[in-house]
Structure 1
Amino acid sequence: MQLEEGEVPVSPSGQYLNSATLSFTVLAVLEFEVPIDDLNITRLIKDMFISSNPRFSSIMVGENNEAKRWKPVQVQVENHVKTPKFPQGKSPEFYDRCLEEYISDLAINPLPQTRPLWEVHVIKYETSNAAGTLILKLHHALGDGYTLIGLLISTFQRADNPSLPLTFPSLQSSSKPNGDSSSIFRVVPRVLRGVINTVLDFGTSILKKEDDLTPIRSANKGLEMAPRNTTTITFSLDTIKQIKSRLNVTINDVITGIIFYGSRMYMEEESSESRNANSSALVVFNTRNIGRYKSVNEMVKPNADKLWGNQFTLSHVPIPKFSNLGDSLNPLKFILKVHKTMERKKNSSAVYMTAGLIESVRKFRGAEVAAKLIQNTLKNSSIALSNLIGPVEQMALQNHPVKGFYFTVAGVPVSTGVAIVSYMGKLRVAITSEKGYIDADKFKSCVLKAFDMICKTTNAV
C-alpha cells in the first residue's frame, strides 16, 4: 500500500479499536465551579487537539481488507462543538436528569467517520455538581486514558498557581519486598511462581468460559449500542488509604474490593440464585514501563518509545463468591481475596502474552479478526473495569476551576462498566449500566453499603 502525502499508518490497536466489530469512545466529563459561558472553545480545540497531534486533524481511511491510515483534512471547528439547549429556568436536579440523558445519547451515537474522531460538548446549565460541564468525546483509536491525561496536563493549569505544573502520584507501586530480594532463596521461588502464574493466567484467558447470566450480566445482543444509565460515587481518598494501611494492600485492591463486594450484594438482593454465580471483571492494565505521566510534547518526541496511543491489555479477575455466611459478613476477607488475586496477576506475564496474541492475530488474520477476539473476551465478562490517576491539585481551564471530573468508555459489550479516577483527594467512580436490566440506583446503593461496611469493619480491627 502506497501512502499519499501527509498520510501515516494507523497503529495496530487503532485499527481494531475502530473497526466494523469494535468502536470504543472515551467520554471525559469535566465539572466547573463557575459558569463556562465565556470559555474560548476555539482556543481550547486548538490547544488540546489540533496542535497536539496530527491524528486530531485526520480521518481514518482504508478498506476492510487493507491497512488503515490517517489522512489529514481541514478541521471544521463548528462541526465538532455541540451546545445542547435544555428548557430554561429549571432546578439543578432537573438539569441532572437532562445531563444523564444527554450522556446516554452520546454513548450510543457513534462519531462520524467522515471527520476527525472527537467532539466537545458544552453544557451551560447548572447541575447539582457543577455550574457548567464540558464533555470531551474522543474515539479510543486516538489514544487511551494515559493519552487523555497527557492532553489535560498540556492544556489545563493549576488553579492555585498556573506557573507550577500539575502533580500526580506515581504510576508505579512503591511497595518493595522485605529483606534481601537478591537472595537466591527469594528470587528462584518467585521466578518459578511467575512462570506458573503466567501459564495458568494465559491459559485461563484463552480458555475462559462465559460468565453466568446474573443481575449484572444479561448477555443481550447489541450491548455495544444499548442505552445506559450513568451514576457516579465519590469516595474520600484518605479513607481509602486508611483501609489500605490497615489491611496492608493497595488502593486499587481496596476500591476494586468495594466494587466487587457491592456487585455481589446487588446480585444477591436481586436473585439469591446468583450468590455463587461465576462472575468476573475484565480489568484494563497499562503496559507502559513508566513512573509518571508525560505531556503531549514529551509523548510525541522521536525517542519517546511511542508513548502516545493505546498501550494497554486486558485481564480477567474473578469476582469472589459469597461461598458461606462468614464471607458475606466479613468484607475485609473479601478484599484480601481480591488482593491475593491481584498480587498473583502482578507476578505474571500473561497480560503481555495476551497483548502479543492479539497483535499476532491482527498481523496474520487482520484487524477485524483481532477485534472479534477482543469483543468475545469482553462479552464473556460481567464487568469492564478501568482506572486512571488524576492530578493532586485542582485544575483550571482559562481561569475556570474544575470542581471534579470522571470518565466512561462507550461501545463496550458488557452490561456493567466501572471507571475510576482520582482527583484532589477524591476517588470518583462512574458506573454505566444497561438500561432496563440493571437498577442503577440500587446498584449504586449496594456499592455505598459495601463501602460503609468495610469502613466500619476496618475501624473495628
Structure 2
Amino acid sequence: MESLLTWRKPALKPLQITTITNHNDDNMIIATGEEQPLSPASRLFHQPNFNVYIIAIIGFKNPLNTRVMHDKLLLTLIKHPRFSSVQVVDHKNGGIMKWVPTIVNLNNHIIIPNIPQTLESPNNFLEDYVYNLSKTSIDSSIPMWDLHLLNLKTSNVEAIGIFRIHHSLGDGASLISLLLACTRKIDNPDAVPTVPRKKDSNSGWFSSLSYDRGGPWWKWCFMVVCMVYWLVWNTFVDIGYIMATAFFLKDTETPIKAPEGVNLTPKRFVYRIVSLDDMKLIKNAMNTTINDVAIGVTQAGLSKYLNRRYGEGKNDEGANEKKNNLPKKNIRMRSMLVVNMRPSSGIQELADMMEKNSEAKWGNLFGYVILPFTIGIRDDPLDYVREAKATIDRKKHSLEALFSTSVSALVFKLFGIKAANTISHKAAACTTLGFSNLVGPQEEIGFYGHAIEFLAPSCYGHPHGLMINFQSYVNKMTIVLSVDDNSIPDPKQLLDDIEASLKLIKEAVYAKGLIKDDEEGLSQAAFT
C-alpha cells in the first residue's frame, strides 16, 4: 500500500501565462476562464502548519463501475473552476497567489488501487488505507483533489469512494454541497438531493420580537433593549475569550490533548453509524436541536472515555467505570468551531453551475467560535444535552464568528499571511478538538448511478489530536473520528462510549416520561 501512496511535497509553481483553448478527449480537458487571486483564507491553508485536507469517505451499496465514474466526472466536477485550476505564485505582482485554469488529466486524479484477493479484515484494510493516505499530499502542479475508488466489500458496503480535497479549494460545507450536487435521488434520477437549509442563528431570537398591537409598546421596547444588551455583552466576552486563547489561555492537559506539531502527524479515521431517529426522539422530547443533541452526546461520550483513561493504572476499585476518576478541578476542554460566513450555494445552484456553466458563490470565508465542552460524570444523563443547549443558545446570541472573520482580515491586510497564520494556529492549538455537524440529504441518493449507503467526512492536517464530525443521511447519523494515535490509541472505544451515551440519554428520556403520546409509536420503533 505504501507504494501506492508516495509522499509528494507540495511546491507552488511560479505563474506562467499561456493561451488556452477548449479541448476534450478520454482522459483530459483543458479549462478556460479568468485568473483570480486566492482569498486570504485559502492562502492560510497553504501555510506549513495549516496544510489541511478534507477527506470524504463514501460507502456504496453496489460495486463501482470505474469507467462510468470517469466519464461522468468529465461532464460535471471538473467543470467547476476550482477543480480545474492550479494555484500558482505570481512573483511579478508581489508574490500573490492566483487560480489559473489548466489541463486536467483524470489519470492524475482517479486512483484505483490494487486490492489483495484475500483479506483477513477488509475493514482494517480500509482503515489502514486512509491512515496512509493522510501521510501524503497532492502535488500543486495539478488541481489539488483526487478520488480513490475501492471495490472493497466491508462489513456494511460493497465498495468505497474516498474524496480528498485540499481545504484551499473551499470550506467544508461548500465542498460537501458540491459533491452532493453530483448526486441524484434514487427514486427520481433527474432530481438533486433535498438538504434542509439551516436557519439564521439569530432567527429564534428576533422572531420573539413580533409586536403585539394589543400589548403595551414599552414592553416590546424593553425586550429589544435587553436583547441588544445581551448581544453586545456576549460578543464582548467572547472577543476577550478569543484573544486570551490566542495568546495564553490553554486547555487542560488531559490524556487526549495532543502536543504541538500534531498537525504534521498522520491521522486514523474511524466511523460509526447510529440512528438519526434516536437523536430526533431526544430533540423532540427535550425541545432542542439535533446540533444540541450531537454536542450533548459528545460531551457524555468524552466524559465516559476520559473517566476510563484517568482510571488506568489505578487499583481495581479506581479503574471501575462507575467511580469518578476525573480530576476534582474542572477540566477546560474546548473546540475551535469553524463557521461558514458565506451564504451557502444551494445544491441545485451548484448542479446548474457544472451543467450549464452558470455562476454560484464559492470560496473560503469563515469565522471561528470557541465552543466549551462540559466534562464530568452526571447523575442525570439529560444534563449533558441541557448544558449543550445552554451553551449553543448563548453562542447564537453573539457576534463572535463575525468578529473573528473581521480581525483575521485586518491582521492579514496589515501584517500579512504569516501573522494571520500565527494567530489562527495558536488559537486552534490551545484548544483540544475540532467539531462539526453537517446536514445531509433526506432521501437516498446515487453518485453517478451508484447508490450511497453512508457519508463520512473529516480532515487531516489540523492542529488537534481529535476531530469529531457528525454527518446525517436519510435516517442515519455517521459519527466520524480523526485521531492522532499517540493521543487516542483506541478510537473505537471512544466511538463505543459516544454510542453508549446516546443510548443512555434516550433511555433517560423514556424513564422521565418525556415522550408525547402522539410520538409513542414512532419512538418505540426507534427504541427497538
1:260 is paired with a residue whose SS is: helix
- Whether 1:313 and 2:350 are equivalent positions in the alignment is no
| Alignment correspondent of 2:130 | 103
Counterpart among 477, 486, 491 of residue 427 in structure 1: 477
Tell me, in whole angstroms, the C-alpha distance in 1 between the residues paired with 2:261 and 2:344. Answer: 37
Helix, strand or coil at the partner of 1:70? strand
1:355 is aligned to 405
**Structure 1 residue ranges without an equivalent (≥5):** none
Alpha-carbon distance in structure 2 between the residues aligned to 1:112 and 1:35: 29
Among candidates 63, 70, 73, match of residue 42 of structure 1:
70
Residue 61 (structure 2) pairs with residue 11 (structure 1): no
Match of 2:182 in 1: 155
Unaligned runs of 5+ in 2: 1-13, 19-33, 212-219, 311-324, 513-528
Counterpart of 1:240 in structure 2 is 279
Question: Residue deviations 1:358-415, cap 9 Å, x none?
Answer: 1111112112221222211211111101121111111112321111111011111101
The answer to whether 1:31 aligns with 2:59 is yes
Structure 2: distance between partners of 1:369 and 1:406: 33
Superposed displacement of residue 149, structure 1: 3.0
Shift of the 262–375 alpha-carbon distance from structure 1 to 2, 3 Å rule, reads: same
C-alpha contact (below 8 Å) 1:181/1:187 kept by paired residues: no
Identity of aligned residues (%): 26
1:186 paired to 2:223: yes
Q: Paired residue for 2:143, among 105, 116, 130?
A: 116
The residue aligned with 1:270 is: 309
Q: Which residue of 2 aligns with 1:74?
A: 103
8 A contact 2:434–2:467 mirrored in 1: yes
Letter in 1 for 2:283: K
Amino acid at match of 1:193: W
In 2 relative to 1, CA 180–15 (structure 1 residues): closer, same or farther, beyond 3 Å?
Answer: closer
Does the CA contact (< 8 Å) of 2:173 and 2:344 recur in 1? Answer: no
**Aligned position for 2:506:** 455
Q: Deviations over 1:330-385 (max 9, x none)?
A: 22112211111111111111110001111111112112221222211211111101
Take 2:499 and 2:134, find their aligned partners in 1: how far apart are those partners? 25
Partner of 1:254: 293
Distance 1:437 1:198 in 2: 33
Indicate the RMSD between aligned Cα atoms, in angstroms. Answer: 2.5
d(CA) in 2 for partners of 1:287, 1:393:
27
1:194-217, Cα deviation, whole Å (9 max, x unpaired)? 000000011101112111111221
Structure 2 matches for 1:82-97, cutoff 5 A?
A: 82-90=111-119, 94-97=121-124
The residue identity in structure 2 corresponding to 1:73 is T
1:435 maps to amino acid: D
1:448–1:236 Cα change, 3 Å: same
The secondary structure found in structure 2 opposite 1:338 is: helix
Provide the secondary structure at the position in 2 that maps to 1:295: helix
Per the normalisation by structure 1, the TM-score is 0.91
Q: Deviations over 1:6-50 (max 9, x none)?
A: 422112211111223311111111111000044423223323432
Rounded Cα–Cα distance in structure 1 between residues aligned with 2:444 and 2:411: 43
Instruction: Pick 1 or 2: higher relative contact order, CA cutoff 8 A, min separation 6.
Output: 1
Q: 1:181 to 1:427 in 2, by over 3 A?
A: same
- 1:180–1:402 Cα change, 3 Å: same
Count of residue pairs brought into register by the alignment = 452
Q: Contact 2:57/2:455 (CA < 8 Å) preserved in 1?
A: yes
Paired letter, 1:246: A
In the TM superposition, residue 299 of structure 1 has moved relative to its aligned partner by 6.8
- In 1, are the aligned partners of 2:466 and 2:484 still within 8 Å (CA)? yes
Secondary structure class of the residue paired with 1:362:
helix
How many angstroms does 1:274 deviate by?
4.4
Distance 1:166 1:417 in 2: 27
